[in-house]
Copies of this chain bind each other. A is one copy, B any other.
């Protein structure tokens, strides 16, 4: 497994930024997320690499979507094409057949567009990051 040193500080910094934006202490977030506060401290400082479950718990406590947290941690890709297929795959409202149909239609569309050779400049969308941030609802925790 990759050592925490190989991991960009992003996820730790990301979590600390969100926490500070929400104006809650490390202990408050740890309690809310159900992880120990020393461990959360280590995560924020990049000394430990949290599992997906821990990330999920922290995301929930910070009211950030799990995929956004995973994206930041490098556990999910931010490519838009994967996003649609992924979303279709996880949609509980679709039957299997419908998922297959949508996937095929989607891929047909993409093939058409590839044939038309769309401008490369449009392929680079930094939007995933920008989307994650505004989705965070600041949590003003009262002092205990």
Contact = CB atoms under 8 A, between A and B. Distances in A.
Given A80-B87, A84-B84, A89-B67, A131 B52 contact: no
Nearest to A112: B98
Nearest to A75: B52
A107 to B, nearest CB: 10
A82 B84 CA distance: 11
Nearest to A114: B93
A71 to B, nearest CB: 5
A73 to B, nearest CB: 8
Interface of A: 1-2, 51-53, 56, 65-68, 70-71, 75-96, 98-103, 105-106, 109-110, 112-114, 118, 122-125, 127-128, 130-132, 134-135
User: Dominant SS at the A interface?
Assistant: helix
B103 A105 contact: no
Contacts of A130: 96
22 contacts: A66-B75, A67-B67, A67-B76, A67-B86, A67-B89, A68-B90, A78-B90, A78-B92, A79-B92, A80-B90, A80-B94, A81-B93, A84-B102, A90-B131, A93-B118, A94-B106, A94-B110, A95-B125, A96-B128, A96-B131, A101-B105, A102-B109
